[in-house]
């Protein structure tokens, strides 16, 4: 395995900074870092209005194997610059004793709706240890949340259809394993990715590839021979890929022939898969051909470059086009399943979440001192201090604002809130407009059993529950309504004061 996946899955500067803290006796000092993202994914012609938080259990899996063991320490000892060692023996020895258990965590649970500029994860503990964790935390959480968010949009676009995740072949190397887990949290029904699906307790699924039909064609048995062989082998899970030659002229008629044979043998065929051509148009015609042959329960699996916008457009086209062929569009749509691969597993259009991990406070004797970063780009100014986050629900029971306040602050009504960045803009919330309030950050541990299928199952439920309580405008695929993220008056005042003191 080498040393690339363990504790050295980090950036060099984390280690050089940690050594500096060690040398200055700052490494054990209590520090607080907050992880948040600044912008929802914007895919170019469409954008997210919310994110699905995910990845904590996956980070735990890394942490479980991430130790500065002998191999890691040997590598660091071997790092020389112009003849001299970069890392000293005493620092390397200290690394050998580092345990993530020294840190205290709070996190928004996996599967919950999360918003930009709100802390998703909080890390408190010895500065040296918390600093070293940064890279891997961001690496694991950013991508997980990115893909869970994309998957949630894809699932929402189907209007209740089932999505199968198929992306491993073009997913980003073994990041594709995380992509599958994240897509499950984001709401897909199953994945083709075998190993991780078994680990997560969701049986993998699949159909067959063109190559199987090609084999039988090259050997003289043709597409029909291939379909018969597949139906014979998998009589109760039979989904046939119909576009190796020509879907309408060859694939669907051959599939119907085989389905009739299956039925005669007492089996129920499951579906056909369309993988090229005009998927909307072909769905309407295929649906009619299947109905005419008496296979009204057979599904139609669509695949080939699907994402949420493509699915939205396909369903719109079916709604327009089906009546012209005398078909009921709702019936066509209800029988559709979706194989979504590359564009979900890579979050095509915005392949990264801009999540950061920022120091917001550091202890000085018994007192926490808020920390700030100003920078030459105003959007990069950090909200300072130790914070709590509340989600407020309106009279309809829908989430209306995520509100950051200081850790020792109690909320009281009327509540004066400010925009999280333009803190000069504010409004006042009356108690009558708020039906419920909850804290978003919960105590968390990296030692949770991350392989437990229940972790993913719980996260899937949280997503469904949170989306039910999210304004439809915020869920819109294109140009969504902007969800309110606010700070309390006290936090706004602290930020203003710190900026003034810095500049």
Q: Interface with a second copy by CB under 8 A: which range of 20-28, 288-296, 392-400, 405-413?
A: 20-28
**How far is it, in rounded angstroms, from Cα 453 to Cα 198?**
9
Exactly one of 162, 212, 289, 470 binds a second copy (CB under 8 A); which one? Answer: 212
Exactly one of 25, 70, 82, 324 binds a second copy (CB under 8 A); which one? Answer: 82
Q: Interface with a second copy by CB under 8 A: which range of 105-113, 241-249, 259-267, 414-422?
A: 241-249
Total residues interacting with a second copy, rule: CB under 8 A: 129
Nearer to a second copy, 127 or 314 (CB): 127
Interface with a second copy in residues 48-77 (CB under 8 A) = 58, 62, 65, 72, 75
Q: Interface with a second copy by CB under 8 A: which range of 102-110, 215-223, 318-326, 489-497?
A: 215-223
- Least distance from a second copy to the Cβ atom of residue 8, Å: 3
Both tokens assigned to 242:
């119909």
**Cα–Cα nearest to 156, from 44, 50, 292, 282:** 50
Question: If binding is defined by CB under 8 A, does position 224 make contact with a second copy?
Answer: no
Question: If binding is defined by CB under 8 A, does position 448 make contact with a second copy?
Answer: no
Question: If binding is defined by CB under 8 A, does position 361 make contact with a second copy?
Answer: yes
Exactly one of 69, 162, 210, 393 binds a second copy (CB under 8 A); which one? Answer: 210
Only one residue has tokens 């890691």, namely 72
**How far is it, in rounded angstroms, from Cα 38 to Cα 119?**
10
Interface with a second copy in residues 132-151 (CB under 8 A) = 134-135, 138-140, 142-144
Question: If binding is defined by CB under 8 A, does position 234 make contact with a second copy?
Answer: yes
Question: If binding is defined by CB under 8 A, does position 117 make contact with a second copy?
Answer: no
Q: What is the largest CA-CA distance in the chain?
A: 82
Interface with a second copy in residues 318-347 (CB under 8 A) = 342-343, 346-347
Question: If binding is defined by CB under 8 A, does position 162 make contact with a second copy?
Answer: no
In sequence order, the β-bridge partners of residue 301 are: 273, 337
Give 102's DSSP letter.
G
Q: Where are the alpha helices (DSSP H) in 265-326?
A: 279-292, 308-321
Long-range contacts (CB closer than 8 Å, 24 or more residues apart) made by 467-472: 467/113, 467/152, 467/156, 469/393, 469/397, 469/398, 469/399, 470/50, 470/113, 470/398, 470/399, 471/398, 471/399, 471/400
Question: If binding is defined by CB under 8 A, does position 367 make contact with a second copy?
Answer: no
Question: If binding is defined by CB under 8 A, does position 127 make contact with a second copy?
Answer: yes
Q: Interface with a second copy by CB under 8 A: which range of 231-239, 288-296, 315-323, 460-468?
A: 231-239
- Least distance from a second copy to the Cβ atom of residue 414, Å: 33
- Least distance from a second copy to the Cβ atom of residue 220, Å: 8
420 close to 408: Cβ distance less than 8 angstroms:
no
- Least distance from a second copy to the Cβ atom of residue 194, Å: 4
Distance of CA 363 to the CA centre of its chain: 33
Nearer to a second copy, 203 or 436 (CB): 203
Nearer to a second copy, 209 or 454 (CB): 209
Distances (CA, A) of 389 to 134, 212, 426, 442: 21, 54, 17, 10
Question: If binding is defined by CB under 8 A, does position 163 make contact with a second copy?
Answer: no
Half-sphere exposure of 452 (CA within 13 A, CB side): 11
Both tokens assigned to 363:
């202890």
203 close to 190: Cβ distance less than 8 angstroms:
yes
Interface with a second copy in residues 164-193 (CB under 8 A) = 166, 168-179, 192-193
Interface with a second copy in residues 404-433 (CB under 8 A) = none
Burial of 375 (0-12, 13-18, 19+ CB in 10 A): exposed
- Least distance from a second copy to the Cβ atom of residue 233, Å: 5
HEC letters along 48-97: CCCEECCCHHHHHHHHHHCCCCHHHHHHHHCCEECCEECCCHHHHHHHHC
In 336-435, beta strands by DSSP E: 336-340, 356-364, 367-370, 387-393, 399-406, 415-419, 426-429
Interaction pattern, residues 25-44, with a second copy; x per rule: CB under 8 A? -x----x-x----------x
Interface with a second copy in residues 258-317 (CB under 8 A) = 275-277, 282, 304
Question: If binding is defined by CB under 8 A, does position 208 make contact with a second copy?
Answer: yes
In sequence order, the β-bridge partners of residue 191 are: 165
- Least distance from a second copy to the Cβ atom of residue 282, Å: 8
Exactly one of 149, 244, 254, 486 binds a second copy (CB under 8 A); which one? Answer: 244
Exactly one of 85, 369, 396, 481 binds a second copy (CB under 8 A); which one? Answer: 369
Question: If binding is defined by CB under 8 A, does position 372 make contact with a second copy?
Answer: yes
**How far is it, in rounded angstroms, from Cα 255 to Cα 271?**
9
Nearer to a second copy, 14 or 288 (CB): 14
Interface with a second copy in residues 377-406 (CB under 8 A) = 377, 380
């Amino acid at each position: 395995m080498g040393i690339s996946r363990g504790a050295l899955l980090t950036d060099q500067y984390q280690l050089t900074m940690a050594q500096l803290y060690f040398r200055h006796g700052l490494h054990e000092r209590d520090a607080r870092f907050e992880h948040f993202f600044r912008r929802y994914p914007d895919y170019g012609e469409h954008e997210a209005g919310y994110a699905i938080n995910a990845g904590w259990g996956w980070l735990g899996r890394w942490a479980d194997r991430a130790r500065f063991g002998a191999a890691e320490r040997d590598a660091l000892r071997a790092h020389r610059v112009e003849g001299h060692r970069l890392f000293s023996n005493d620092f390397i020895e200290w690394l050998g004793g580092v345990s993530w258990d020294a840190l205290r965590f709070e996190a928004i649970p996996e599967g919950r709706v999360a918003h930009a500029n709100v802390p998703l994860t909080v890390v408190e503990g010895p500065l040296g240890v918390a600093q070293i964790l940064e890279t891997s935390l961001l690496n694991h959480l950013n991508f997980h949340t990115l893909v869970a968010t994309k998957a949630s949009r894809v699932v929402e676009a189907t209007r209740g259809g089932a999505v199968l995740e198929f992306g491993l072949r073009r997913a980003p190397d073994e990041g594709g394993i995380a992509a599958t887990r994240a897509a499950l949290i984001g709401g897909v029904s199953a994945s083709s990715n075998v190993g991780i699906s078994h680990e997560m307790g969701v049986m993998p699924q699949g159909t067959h590839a063109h190559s199987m039909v090609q084999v039988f064609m090259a050997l003289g048995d043709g597409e029909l021979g291939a379909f018969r062989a597949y139906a014979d082998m998998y009589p109760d899970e039979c989904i046939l890929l119909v576009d190796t030659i020509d879907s309408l002229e060859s694939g669907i008629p051959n599939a119907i022939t085989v389905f009739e044979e299956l039925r005669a043998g007492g089996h129920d065929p499951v579906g056909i898969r369309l993988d090229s051509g005009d998927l909307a148009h072909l769905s309407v015609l295929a649906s009619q051909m299947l109905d005419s042959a008496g296979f009204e329960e057979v599904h139609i699996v669509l695949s080939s470059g699907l994402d949420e916008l493509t699915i939205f457009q396909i369903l719109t086209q079916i709604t327009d086009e089906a009546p012209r062929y005398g078909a009921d569009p709702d019936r066509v749509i209800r029988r559709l399943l979706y194989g979504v691969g590359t564009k979900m597993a890579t979050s095509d259009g915005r392949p990264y979440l801009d999540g950061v991990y920022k120091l917001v406070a550091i202890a000085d004797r018994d007192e926490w001192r808020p920390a700030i970063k100003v920078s030459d780009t105003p959007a990069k100014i950090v909200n300072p201090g130790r914070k709590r986050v509340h989600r407020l629900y309106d009279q309809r029971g829908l989430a209306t604002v995520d509100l950051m306040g200081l850790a020792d602050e109690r909320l009281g009504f009327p509540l004066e809130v400010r925009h999280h960045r333009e803190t000069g803009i504010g409004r006042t919330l009356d108690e009558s407009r708020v039906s419920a309030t909850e804290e978003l950050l919960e105590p968390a541990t990296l030692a949770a059993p991350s392989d437990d299928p229940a972790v993913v199952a719980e996260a899937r439920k949280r997503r469904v529950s949170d989306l039910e309580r999210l304004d439809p405008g915020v869920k819109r695929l294109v140009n969504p309504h902007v969800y309110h993220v606010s700070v309390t008056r006290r936090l706004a005042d602290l930020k203003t004061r710190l900026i003034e003191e810095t500049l």
